[in-house]
Structure 1
Amino acid sequence: MTTQLKSGHTAEPLSDEESARILKDFPGQVDGLVRVQPGGWILPTPYLEIADKIYDFKFHESDVVVMTHPKCGTTWTQEILWNMVHNPNIDSPAAEEAVNGRSPYLEVDMFFMGKMKEMILSDTSNPMLKQFAELCPGANPADGIEIQRVAAMPGIRIFKTHLTFPLLPPDLLDTTKVVYVGRNPKDMCISYNHHYRISRTLDFQGDMDLFVDYLTNDELLYGPYWDHIKEGWKRRDHPGLYVLFFENLKADPMAEVRELDKFLDTDLTEEQMTKVIEHTSFDKMKARDAFFPMNEEMKKKIMNQEVVQKEGGFFRKGQVGDFKNKLTPAQESKIDAWTKMNAEGMGIEFKYSI
């Protein structure tokens, strides 16, 4: 069955054969997947329940949107921007809350409307749910918890999205500011593989050879990766967009924070920028477990603890070049060929070491 979206796209479920193959390798994806055309974007089936609401979402002039393909430095960038805007002196009590509570994940409802719905709603410690109840009295959670919560949030909102530009409001860049973050495909692959293995809603069961096949065949969530990158890169000259690369931020965070300060008009002092950089270092974010707005019991339910204990949780390494320890020469060659086929002529030279 084809679904027509307000964005002009159409969405169709994957074929029975493709769905069966993916469910075998990713048994956590019980909600199924749709392919959104044009573009071939792969998204969970419940995306269809919120697609038009996202396309119609009213952004404010003061908003900032962090846009990335998954595992390209999203949470790190969210934390940097939120602290630049709301906590430049690193003295705000709100900074102790998990980043996804302070900096909303625009389309996250599509993960709440299926298998995870009852589990998420039962977590009374989740600050997002508490804020939903406070900001949206009488609202129906079935209409989207996050989409309603963020619409009612006061002040400057720092958003996160993994959706691509064509699926978002067409006036997004003319309305607000967007920071697009890219990362070299080899390190992204390693980080995404880890994410797919620790998340119970994905639960990847194969080896790295199989994962690289899924990646290069554009069959992972939010893919195709290269089209995602291209949609950001081709808008790079728009005054409402700042394109940031994970590797540059890692190599010289002060240089990038200075540029972000200009882009956001935050007018921070050198001392404030230094404080923000120190507070948002990988080690400090990992130590305070900055991502999850949920209790330890809930984390155990949604994360594969065996993988977490052996290889780390949401914050794993945050390095440039770790792919050298994980990919075989054959896997690297496959990604290199995929990169050459898709990136030629783009004018982007990814850094694979710093």
Structure 2
Amino acid sequence: MLDELGVPLRFSHGGSAFHSRNFRPPRYFLGKKRALFLHRDPIDTTISGYFQVTKREAWRNLFNGSVSEFIRDDKLGIVRTLRFNSMWLDAASNNEAVLVTTYESLHSDPMSELRKIANWFGVSVSNEQLEKAVVAGRFDTMKAQEATGGYEESYHHRLRPANPDDPDSFKVRKGVVGGYREYLTEDDIAFCKERILQNRA
């Protein structure tokens, strides 16, 4: 959606790599330019990571267990997600050049959130441009584009299914807020929420 609006950004996972326990500190990425940090429910993020590792990057053989085992893995699971989020949220709280937005707010009110982000980067956008960007960012639109190779020229492997016959190998997989409930047991969810509370303490 931001590309559609002409917001000049370089997209990054902030130095995080699934095969590493370590993160590059935010100062590595934060210079004199403005930055945007996209925060998402850490449980949803961790489930997305599970499919990234087991479907999209299966060739790396980073993890072969169940989703329940994945969330409990210190190297790849919920603790890792929380550690990464805390690092960036701490950096943002002390840096006026960092804007924080959330995946959930982009779902609930995409027009307002996109306008705020565009304005933050000095890009003026019209309602018509915002409406077009929201349509481009709809799940069904993006799913179809990924399936037919519509993103190949711009995004290459980053928005290419690992296996076109496996919906879980798509980068645009479900796009649901709270979708983790489809994959986790009550015990799994309780485990994640306990870790979230511990992280806030």
TM-score normalised per structure 2: 0.78
What secondary structure does 1:293 align onto?
A: helix
Percentage of matched positions with identical amino acids? 20
- Structure 1 distance, partners of 2:71, 2:13, is 24
- Structure with more of its chain in strand, by fraction: 1
What secondary structure does 1:224 align onto?
A: helix
Residue pair 2:38, 2:100 contacting (<8 A) in 1 also:
yes
**In the alignment, which residue of structure 2 is the partner of 1:293?**
156
Give the deviation of 1:237 after TM superposition: 5.4
Give the deviation of 1:157 after TM superposition: 5.1
- Structure with more of its chain in helix, by fraction: 2
Assess, with a 3 A threshold, how the Cα gap between structure 1 residues 259 and 237 changes in structure 2: closer, same or farther. Answer: farther
**In the alignment, which residue of structure 1 is the partner of 2:19?**
none
**In the alignment, which residue of structure 1 is the partner of 2:89?**
233
| 1:160 and 2:12 correspond | yes
Matched to 2:12, the amino acid is K
The residue correspondences of 1:179-258 to structure 2 (distance < 5 A) are 179-198=36-55, 199-203=57-61, 204-214=63-73, 217=74, 219-220=75-76, 224-234=80-90, 235-236=92-93, 238-258=95-115
* Rg comparison, structure with higher value: 1
Residue pair 1:183, 1:247 contacting (<8 A) in 2 also:
yes
What secondary structure does 1:84 align onto?
A: coil
**In the alignment, which residue of structure 2 is the partner of 1:263?**
120
**In the alignment, which residue of structure 2 is the partner of 1:123?**
none
- Structure 2 distance, partners of 1:281, 1:342, is 33
Assess, with a 3 A threshold, how the Cα gap between structure 1 residues 169 and 251 changes in structure 2: closer, same or farther. Answer: closer
**In the alignment, which residue of structure 2 is the partner of 1:121?**
none
What secondary structure does 1:250 align onto?
A: helix
- Structure 1 distance, partners of 2:37, 2:11, is 12
Query: Would you say how many aligned residue pairs link Structure 1 and Structure 2?
Result: 183
- Structure 2 distance, partners of 1:171, 1:194, is 28
The residue correspondences of 1:66-215 to structure 2 (distance < 5 A) are 80-85=1-6, 156=8, 158-163=10-15, 167=24, 170=27, 172-198=29-55, 199-203=57-61, 204-214=63-73
Assess, with a 3 A threshold, how the Cα gap between structure 1 residues 237 and 259 changes in structure 2: closer, same or farther. Answer: farther
TM-score normalised per structure 1: 0.47
- Structure 1 distance, partners of 2:44, 2:136, is 24
Residue pair 2:2, 2:133 contacting (<8 A) in 1 also:
no
Residue pair 1:182, 1:245 contacting (<8 A) in 2 also:
yes
- Structure 2 distance, partners of 1:236, 1:336, is 23
**In the alignment, which residue of structure 2 is the partner of 1:280?**
137
What secondary structure does 1:85 align onto?
A: coil
Give the deviation of 1:315 after TM superposition: 1.3
**In the alignment, which residue of structure 2 is the partner of 1:315?**
172
Assess, with a 3 A threshold, how the Cα gap between structure 1 residues 278 and 229 changes in structure 2: closer, same or farther. Answer: same
Give the deviation of 1:310 after TM superposition: 5.6
Where do 4+ consecutive residues of structure 1 move more than 4 Å? none
Residue pair 2:5, 2:130 contacting (<8 A) in 1 also:
yes
Matched to 2:54, the amino acid is R
Assess, with a 3 A threshold, how the Cα gap between structure 1 residues 212 and 171 changes in structure 2: closer, same or farther. Answer: closer
